[in-house]
Amino acid sequence: MDYIIFGIIAYLLGSIPFALIIGKIGYKIDVREHGSGNLGATNAFRVLGIKAGSIVIIGDILKGTAAVLLPQLFDANVYPLIIGIIAVLGHTYPIFAKFKGGKAVATSGGMILGINPFLFIIMIATFLLSLYLSKYVSLSSMIAGIVAFFASLFFNDIGLTIVIFLLTAFVTYRHWANIKRIKNGTEPKITWM
């Protein structure tokens, strides 16, 4: 029963489309009609700017964090990482936005933050270093996932390692079009770093 209750809560949390909400309320813009058309933080940064993009990414991260912390707060008989995965699926396939959401990066990071803050710091540091060197958000997201997978091996938590492997594979799948654009040189680079 706990899995059903917290699974539904996690999915609904994940489904909150912060990029859509911030765009429509603050800027009268539907981000789905601009840039990549994606409801993730990267498109929010691109379409709405740094301030709005920052709010979106924080919101998307906290969805994942809240999803794994709530069951622990209520001492529910569930494995928090499974609940976190449901939040990631909610973010990617949100009921509140016709099941077309983001690419799972920020919410995945948020669930890792709720489970292992030190590993989250490793992911963020890797992402920022890769972004500084490559200027590709998509590539940096995938590299951060790969590094997080190998780093997780040092924490002796097989469940965490398996989940990070699955999330990294999912994030890579969600970025398949980006990989193709990187190969042919048409993937947009950031200009602010």
- Identify the pLDDT of residue 7: 97
Q: Structural domain tally of the chain?
A: 1
User: Could you give the C-alpha distances from 127 to 22, 96, 121, in angstroms and in order?
Assistant: 24, 29, 10
Give domain status of residue 189, yes or no.
Answer: no
* Full domain range(s) for residue 149: 2-184
Mean of all residue pLDDT scores within the chain: 95
- Identify the pLDDT of residue 191: 82
In whole angstroms, give the CA distance from residue 33 to residue 21: 14
Give domain status of residue 190, yes or no.
Answer: no
H and E: helices and strands count for the chain: 10, 0
Is the confidence at residue 192, as pLDDT, over 80?
A: no
Give domain status of residue 191, yes or no.
Answer: no
Give domain status of residue 152, yes or no.
Answer: yes
3-class SS shares of the chain: helix, strand, coil, % to 5: 75, 0, 25
Give domain status of residue 193, yes or no.
Answer: no
Radius of gyration of the chain (CA): 16
pLDDT tens for residues 60-115? 999 999 999 999 999 899 999 999 999 999 999 999 999 999 999 999 999 999 99
Give domain status of residue 125, yes or no.
Answer: yes
Nearest CA among 90, 54, 76 for reference residue 4: 76
- Identify the pLDDT of residue 193: 75
